Amino acid sequence: MLDTILIITAIVLGIITFTLWTKLNTARTQNAATERKLQNTIEKQREQIRAEKAEEALLLDAIGDAFLIVNQSLQIKLANNRATVISKLQTLLGRSLPEVFLSEKLITAVEQQIALDEPSSTRIIIDSGAHALGSTHTDGETAWVIQATPLPNHIEDPRYCIILRDVTAEYRSDQVRTDFVANASHELRTPLAIINGYLENLLDDDVVDAPATARRFLTTMRKHGDRLSRLIEDMLVISRLESGEAASINPEPFEFQEAITDVLERLEPLISERNTRIRKNLPTDPFIINGDKFYYTQVLFNLIENAIKQNPSAKITVSITLTPIEEKQFKLAITDDGIGIPSSHLPYIFKRFYRVDKHHTQSSIKGTGLGLSIVKRAIEAHGGTIEAASQPGVHTTFTITAPTTSELPQK
């Protein structure tokens, strides 16, 4: 009897154990499946976050401006590629803004904007060399617009988004425009004042009744009137070339040797007066180029006239050398052996209104200081370049390299 009870108990226990074991196994399998599912979901979410972050970083890097997030003590919490580039450092995270951008002006501007605690924007001009901001402009002053915006949801540890935009190009073109207006007004005022002065003399002193004196006054007035016309004409040419209108250049095939002959004919009175020797090294066959004949004539005229005009006393030789070169290009060199241009002035001679001798006297009033800037812009509008080299007393050479075809750069 006891044996039977023991056997039954053992069987029941066995069944219970088996049932429990089976249930446990099922639960384990189910748990493992749930765990796998959970892990999959977490991994997917992580991947999604990673993708979103990569997209965010890409977007931030695609911005042309430097983008930074800083805390109140100006410690950098986030920086895009451009910020790294302009700081010229490898990593910015964790560093402080004054350590990264060495410009005191910039830091002061950021601090003032942060203190406002509202979105704000300001523009600063930074001297060259005094900062670590890597503007694309390497020399001279650079201009920056700084935008600062407090970020919401950072009450404990306030954060600010700082955007630095390099506006040097706009700033410089504004300055060039302002300088041009100032210089042009000055240049126009001088001959006008002289004309008005002589007019007053003519009227007040009854000079009209003294024909010889009146003629002398009128001759001077005409000279200054001519100068006014030339200044205005040159300014119009420059503004047309700078307007960027494609129509400012009208390419057509023309023979270069012919253009040189035309210019030399127009300059003949000056050439004879100064006893200038002209040496031509030109191709024997007609050299046809596709360009704007008006501007090329102006280029030749300015360069050859300059060579003669700048050397009033010496009997000089002007050489005109035209050489076709590879890849549908040609070189044109105008050389003279006159007084030359001191090396300290060479970098500036293509600037508008720049003259080596600023105190132009009666004898040199013909120059407008615009000739070389017209030459440079005209050549560049044809996709070419111009260089000047000079060894005073030995030679002064202007070398143009330009395409022979009309495949002009799109403006």
| Contact set with ligand ADP (CB under 6 A) | 302, 306-307, 310, 336, 338-341, 349, 354-357, 367-373, 396
Q: Give every CB contact of residue 27 below 8 A, 6+ residues apart in sequence.
A: none
Q: How far is the CB of 94 from ligand ADP (least distance, A)?
A: 53
CB of 222 to ligand ADP, least distance (A): 19
**Closer residue to ligand ADP, CB minimum distance, 338 or 384:** 338
Helices (H), 256-311: 256-266, 268-274, 293-309
Q: Of 263 and 307, which CB lies nearer to ligand ADP in the complex structure?
A: 307
Taking the complex as a whole, the smallest distance from the CB of residue 396 to ligand ADP amounts, in Å, to 4
What is the enclosing helix (H) or strand (E) of 291?
Answer: strand 288-291
Q: Residue 154 burial (CB < 10 Å; 0-12/13-18/19+)? A: middle
CB-nearer residue toward ligand ADP: 60 or 316: 316
Residue with Cβ nearer ligand ADP (242 or 258)? 242
**Per-residue b/e over 83-111, b at no fewer than 16 CB within 10 Å?**
bbebbeeeebeeeebeebbebeebbebbe
CB of 309 to ligand ADP, least distance (A): 6
Separation of alpha carbons 323 and 283, rounded Å: 7
CB of 350 to ligand ADP, least distance (A): 7
Coil, strand or helix at 339: coil
Q: Among residues 291 and 338, whose Cβ is nearest to ligand ADP?
A: 338
CB of 311 to ligand ADP, least distance (A): 7
Half-sphere exposure of 247 (CA within 13 A, CB side): 0
Name the residue nearer to ligand ADP (CB basis): 97 or 308.
308
Distance CA 204, CA 136 (A): 59
Which contiguous run of DSSP H or E holds residue 153?
none
Q: How far is the CB of 260 from ligand ADP (least distance, A)?
A: 17
The tokens for 108 are: 């002061």
CB of 303 to ligand ADP, least distance (A): 7
Q: Which is nearer to ligand ADP, 172 or 395 (CB)?
A: 395
| AA letter at 86 | I
User: Of 162 and 307, which has the nearer Cβ to ligand ADP?
Assistant: 307
Identify which of residues 170 and 233 has a Cβ nearer to ligand ADP in the complex. Answer: 233
Q: Look up tokens 């910039």; give the residue.
A: 106
Tokens standing for 319?
């050489």
Tokens representing 305? 């006239």
Distance CA 8, CA 38 (A): 44
Q: Pick left, alpha or beta for residue 76 (phi over 0 → left; psi -120 to 50 → alpha; otherwise beta).
A: beta
Q: How far is the CB of 158 from ligand ADP (least distance, A)?
A: 56
Smallest separation (angstroms) from ligand ADP to the CB of 340: 6
Q: Give 126 or 307: the residue with its C-beta nearer to ligand ADP.
A: 307
Residue located via tokens 């000739």: 371
CA angle 81–86–89, rounded 5-degree value: 80
CA dihedral 209, 212, 213, 217 (to 10 degrees): 110
